[in-house]
Chains A and B, each alone.
Chain A
Amino acid sequence: MNRRHFLKMSTATAVAMAASTAGLPGGKGLFRAARAGTLPIAPQGSMGARETTSVCEMCFWRCPIVGKVRDGKLIKIEGNSRSPVNGRRVCARGNSGVQLLYDPDRIKYPMKRVGARGEGKWARISWDEALDEIAHNMDKVRKKYGPHALAFFDHGASAEHLRKIFINLGTENYTSEPAFFQCVGPAALAYLETVGYITTGTRQYNDMANARAMLLVGSHIGENIHVSHVREFIAGLQNGAKLVVVDPRFSTAAGKADIHLAIRPGTDTALMLAWINYVITHNLYDKRFVANHCQGFDALKKEVSGYSMEWAARICDLRIEDMKAAIELLAKASPQVNIHPGRHSTWYGRGDVGRHQSYAILTALFGAIGVPGGIYFPSPVPLGHVECVAEKSEKVAPIEPEVSLREDSAYPFSSNFGTVTADIIKAINTGKPYPIRLLGINGVNVIQTIPDPYETMKALKSLDFIFCEEIMAGETAIWSDIILPDAVYLERYDGVYAYDGLTPYVTVRQPVVEPLFEARSPYWIAKNLAKRLDIPGFTCPDERAFIAKELEGVDYSLSQLNKEGGLMTLPADPYRKPDKLKLDTASGKVNLQVEDFEDEDLDPIPKFEPTPAPPKGYARLIYGRSPVHTFSRTMNNLWLHNEIPENKLWLNDRVARQLGIKDNEEVVLENQDGKRSNPVRVLVTPGIRPDAVYMAHGFGSKSPLLSRAHGKGAADGFMMTRNEEDPFMGATSKRTNFVRIIRGGKPLAIPDLCPVPDEIPRYTIKSA
């Protein structure tokens, strides 16, 4: 034995001895556990790590959380145990905030485009250079083309301060959220006009936990994960609520339903109107509620009288027994019946508002307003007024455009909500009614969101200047001239978050760790940009100052809140006794017939207008959410990508058999305009109608700066080249595109297994 051998042996022995005294399992065993110096120790878990309370932003639901930090590194996120809505629970995305923070693909520094626009070549620059350049370009475009040549697309908590910059530069194009015009718009307007408040906005005031029956039309709770919403849904079911799900697809919710109606896409309003007629003619409605709290009943009764169950069964491709059983089941539970108002409602363009109006009408007929189990009223939380963040400054003299994109829109109900997003894209591409030459973008992937994406890309290419404030360089960021690295929600203060649902609370987003790299908070960015543009009003030194002002409204301070676990609860006032029920409409009653619509020559009571059926050989493309992803934002996240790295194309099993397509086989989609998708794997299932295919939204990123997500799965958005605009507010339809399957480069015609009744026209493809 030479010396080296001896040393090796004695070192190993010493390690073994040390391990035995360190309390490892093994007790008095002869052979001690051994560790070499380079070995990992068993993971110690997250117990005992320092906890900071905050608020999640992996989606817009914003659950209260705690970040657990050890040795300066965030190791785990859990729910805030003080939270009445989620307690210690967070969803897969909430858990994965850790990997957003530490994603190696994060935008780390301000960056300037050096190649052609969209080419993806960048140079690192300083914050001063970046902000100087943005300010210079905003000023230049404003001077050359006027203030309205600036436009801002935004979503999420980061956007609020930057929006103030655009407002103060005098543009009318600042509230242009795809979250409204490509998502909740029609549902929000329908409820606002029918019951006087937006029952389904960022929050959804529907009391599923106390319902005895629930109706979901297309809502896919369970794949659409908002923790408290899912909890209320499951609580309702566990309390014995019956569930009716209307969906062309067998969703997670359908899997829990008592009755699943696999409806022909585009015919939901036909079913709703036939049900409303049935409820009225079979005396299943709440007569006292209708007499005391509704206006327009007689007109409604007359209007829906032509919609029979027999007719609807044919239109909707459903069995009449199932339709009857479903409406009887819902009626039996009234008034504790939850007609879910839905959220994402930009489906078919024409008729989208009417569809959601019909949900509100059925809710009212069942008397399910302001009662447990129905829709309820928010409990306002009186936050303090914050003066230190700029409102529209007096210094900005308003310049009215000759033709306003916002006020003179073709859609009578759009201007209250903002400038129609698709109109901004059109204005960029046509220069009419005035040129739009500069775009600011924050927190939204406009390319995968606003149809037609090819028009959007054309618009982006033609602009004088684009900048974005982002965390990850998705498809929008790669088109930008300057990218500003936004701080992750875990690195920054934001405002105060007040929840006004059934269990109101106030909590605060605060940093769990220091910002990494050169990321800056949205307030810091806006304040420093404002300085350069001579915009007054960002007078708070930092976010804590305005958090303090907001908390004054509920007589709290941040330190007090933090002493009490970062969250305070408030009393709720969600329900109304019949004599106290007064709605915030002109009449104080439910508008079964909406006069505001009639005034604009729109239908005051919904009518069924068929949307064209797929052309022969094609299926309708429908889409939804992956339960572990948010929009197209989270596909690059290490842990979420690991759970669901790509989407699958749901294809009816009979269709697959006829086409000879096997489960998990890779195919390409081609839409009615010849646009082709990325390759996508097929899920062969009886759980989708033969006349539709389905995939989860947000995959198939075209950004090479997302190393995991790039090119994984197919993007529904890139198949959306055909859309119809909703005549009420200009929301763009997203379920009006048709696809066929390409295998081995050859198109396969989708067999026509669902005969289309004469009342529904088929879409015809323009010959090339």
Chain B
Amino acid sequence: MKQYGMIINLDRCVGCHACAVACRAEWQVPTREGYRRNWVHRLGPANTSHGMSFTFYPGLCNHCDSPACVPVCPADTVEMTFRDPESGKTKTMEVAATWKDPFNGTVQIDQSRCLGCGACRDACPYGARYVNTEVANEDIGGEGIADKCTFCMPRVEKGLAPACVQTCITDARIFGVVNDPKSEVAAYIRKGARRLESAAVRIGPNVYYFGKPRDLELLDRTSTPQEMPEAADRRRMLASLMQPAMRRMQTAGLLGLAGAMAVQGLAAEEDE
């Protein structure tokens, strides 16, 4: 499997926020509190053991090796066939409304099946997801739609760079294949680019940061998650409530998820 990843070179980054804004423009991300696929946090100036640092945390979804957000999705699973455009190979898997792509390693969302329950958002130690409650898949009882960085797969598939990489005014962001030793990304990893991981959070993020020891120390101190979050009880309850209805409908045949939700509503009315 190929794994896409990104290098952020803090020696080049000046914290101009072009990445965050270009992402918002490209994917029409609303500006409500916490709604973003891509962000820049300004860190310092603060003292470190290597001297003073004024650096930045340009963040986005890490498309982790073992994403915490994927297994918590309560949406009913569907069988999905993935195809590797390079080899033509296919792979069929059962996936919920979010999954890790078996050929490029990106974590994706089928927004048309998202319930907006927020379990994935809560599970991510990096805060990479948000739930847009301005929209919802009402037909399946959704209360919002989860969103996050896709590594700009629709652009990458057309041969374009991710929007944040394209606009980066100092070429501080490098997108590529982590596990291809010939890639620039891999070269940076060999040079010491590092992941934001701690003893308790080791899920294999694929965004790597390169920079001076003082800047990496400040980044690590302020931005590396120190514990795996627990999905909130409400989400878990919601997820467990959803499950029986889905299973019920699975047995009902070919109506589809939407049909399942419609019937669930019907059942509720009949109970009255």
Contacts and interface: CB of A to CB of B under 8 A. Distances in A.
Contacts of A254: 45, 52, 54
A28 B138 CA distance: 23
Interface string A30-64: 11111110111011111100000000000000000
Interface in A69-97: 75-79, 86, 88-92, 94-96
B21 interface: yes
B187 interface: no
Contact of B257 (A34, A39, A250): A34
A31 B242 CA distance: 15
Contact of A250 (B18, B31, B45, B139): B45
Given A9-B266, A12-B259, A47-B160, A34 B54 contact: no
B19 to A, nearest CB: 8
B21 A96 contact: yes
Q: Range of interface residues on chain A?
A: 35 or more
Interface in B131-169: 135-140, 145, 152, 154-155, 158, 160, 163, 166-169
B248 to A, nearest CB: 13
A252 interface: yes
A503 B78 CA distance: 55
A35 B256 contact: no
B12 interface: yes
Nearest to B99: A25
B169 A88 contact: no
B64 interface: no
Contacts of A86: 169
Contacts of B40: 643
> Interface size bucket, B side?
35 or more
Contact of A628 (B17, B79, B139): B17
Contacts of B110: 24-26, 33
Interface string A1-29: 10001001100110111010000111111
Interface string B25-62: 11110010000000010001111000011110000000
B22 interface: yes
Contacts of B169: 86, 89-91, 225, 227, 230-231
A98 interface: yes
A234 B167 contact: no
A363 B40 CA distance: 36
B137 A94 contact: no
A34 B113 contact: yes
A42 to B, nearest CB: 5
Max count, chain A CB within 10 A of own CB: residue among B26, B135, B160: B26
B153 to A, nearest CB: 10
B167 A89 contact: yes
A95 B137 contact: no
Nearest to B157: A47
B54 A255 contact: yes
B54 A252 contact: yes
A222 B55 CA distance: 11
A230 B112 CA distance: 41
A27 B21 contact: no
Interface string A254-265: 111000100000
A421 to B, nearest CB: 30
B138 A39 contact: yes
Nearest to B137: A39
A28 B93 CA distance: 11
B187 to A, nearest CB: 15
B222 interface: no
A15 B258 contact: yes
B14 A230 contact: yes
A45 B78 contact: no
Contact of B28 (A31, A43, A255, A685): A43
B121 interface: no
A28 B258 contact: no
Interface string B252-269: 001111111111011001
Contacts of A38: 138
B11 interface: yes
A639 interface: yes
A739 interface: no
A9 B140 CA distance: 11
Contacts of A526: none
A228 to B, nearest CB: 9
A644 B31 CA distance: 12
A726 B140 CA distance: 70
A627 B17 contact: yes
Interface in A576-590: none
B215 interface: yes
Contacts of B45: 250, 254-255, 685-688
A25 B111 CA distance: 10
B52 A13 contact: no
A260 B53 CA distance: 11
B92 interface: yes
A34 B258 contact: yes
A29 B167 contact: no
Contacts of B122: none
A32 B160 contact: no
A19 B110 CA distance: 12
A239 interface: no
B53 to A, nearest CB: 6
A251 interface: yes
A183 B55 CA distance: 28
Nearest to B23: A95
B87 interface: no
Contact of A92 (B20, B155, B170): B20
Contact of B44 (A1, A33, A45, A687): A687
Interface in B96-122: 108, 110-113
Given A5-B266, A45-B27, A27 B137 contact: no
Interface in B159-202: 160, 163, 166-171
B18 A95 contact: yes
B129 interface: no
A661 interface: no
A29 B99 CA distance: 15
Contact of A36 (B21, B54, B137): B137
A237 interface: yes
A95 B22 contact: yes
B36 to A, nearest CB: 8
B16 A225 contact: yes
B232 interface: no
B80 A27 contact: yes
B15 interface: yes
A45 B259 CA distance: 30
Contacts of B18: 89-92, 94-95
A562 B14 CA distance: 33
A95 B21 contact: yes
Interface in B64-90: 76-81
Contacts of B138: 36, 38-39
26 contacts: A1-B266, A8-B262, A9-B266, A13-B256, A16-B255, A17-B256, A24-B110, A26-B78, A27-B92, A29-B80, A35-B112, A39-B137, A39-B138, A40-B145, A43-B27, A45-B154, A79-B167, A92-B18, A221-B14, A238-B11, A252-B15, A255-B53, A255-B55, A255-B215, A640-B21, A686-B45
Given A19-B112, A39-B112, A39-B136, 9 more contacts: A15-B258, A25-B80, A30-B79, A32-B258, A36-B138, A95-B18, A95-B22, A222-B14, A628-B21
